[in-house]
Amino acid sequence: MLQTATRAIYDEDLGLFRDQVRKFYAVHLTPHLDRWEEEGLVDRAFWLACGEAGVLCPQVPAEYGGLGLDYRYNAVIGEELSYAGSTAGITLQSDIVVDYLINYGSEEQKRKWLPGMVSGHVITAIAMTEPGAGSDLQGIRTTAIRDGNHYVVSGSKTYITNGQNADLVFVVAKTDPAAGSKGISLVLVETDRAGFKRGRNLDKIGQNSADTSELFFEEVRIPITNCLGEEGRGFAYLMNQLPQERLQIAIAGQAGAQRAFDEAVKFTKERKAFKQAIFDFQNTRFTLGALKAKLQAGWAHLDWCMARHLKGELTAAEASAAKLFHTELQWEVCDAALQLHGGAGYMNDYPIARLWRDARVQRIYGGTSEIMKEVVARSI
């Protein structure tokens, strides 16, 4: 269980909320983890249960069916989800996608989509990455070309979280292919429109229960009112939202690292070798002691980032540094924890195996560690 007593960023109300989230996950999440891993998909029933429990999009204003809470509540949901060992796509919807609609959507778009995103009846995805364009979003080829009162969307996307379940996809497309970054827009594509096709649920190394898909747009016609915000401002919107996206990944990284550490402590205290607990060997104690020091620093840094974000002061470079630090720490802790499990760590019977597998991609999506270093370096 995550220890939060010394974290000044949280108060009594958030403590009560955390208890509710933990109890909810214990009933609706943990018992289904293994089945979801095998099936490669989280049940839509889980999304509906999340909506009923207030675990989806807590920052959505009350007039659209939300709770109107600050980002700390999102952080609680994300921390507990990662600590539970789940990669369900609810944080993508709550921490990344929904704020595009809150910040840039029209009143009509907000009233149409936000209540369903809060209740779990509408599952969303955001489609950025393409087969030939990853971190460099200016290299995308998907287009949304005007034709009268419609856009015609053509292209393909890949590695899209929630792709199999999504009812609505926020698509990054070029509305003016000749204008570079100023020709990129965000358009909303309902997945029941003619010409939209889902590809296969991609076979990944880890995060198997988080459906990740190829999506195809074959001259999909959408009304021009499906443009999110201003045409040509999509790239700017994406840059504006990156700090929160990278903070969310950092939160998952830190909580995942803590879970891996706790699993290692539990295992080494219970497992014996040469007539003593593995924990009592100096190598084990030194390894765990060093990791605990880094985790202590990590939690303090994460809370500093959240405090900055709540005031609207977290910069792109600071958020990038957070993603870099916490995801690299997650990998270090998970790998060390697996090593301390010995051969048992390589067995799927033990939680550390899944934690280790799921951690690897954290250093890639949302901007690779190498890109994060470049962003931080540019601020020096």
Active site residues: 245
* Count of alpha carbons within 13 angstroms of residue 166, beta-carbon side: 33
**β 184-190/227-228 pair status:** antiparallel
Determine if residue 260 is left, alpha or beta; phi over 0 gives left, psi from -120 to 50 gives alpha, anything else beta: alpha
Residue by residue, DSSP assigns 38-52 as: HHTS--HHHHHHHHH
Which residues have C-beta within 8 Å of that of residue 144, sequence separation ≥ 6? Answer: 151, 152, 153, 171, 173, 174, 175, 185, 187, 222, 227
**Amino acid code (one letter) for 306:** M
- Residue corresponding to tokens 């994060």: 372
Asked if 109 and 228 count as a contact pair (C-beta separation under 8 A), the reply is yes
- Amino acid code (one letter) for 41: L
Burial class (CB in 10 A: 0-12, 13-18, 19+), 200: exposed
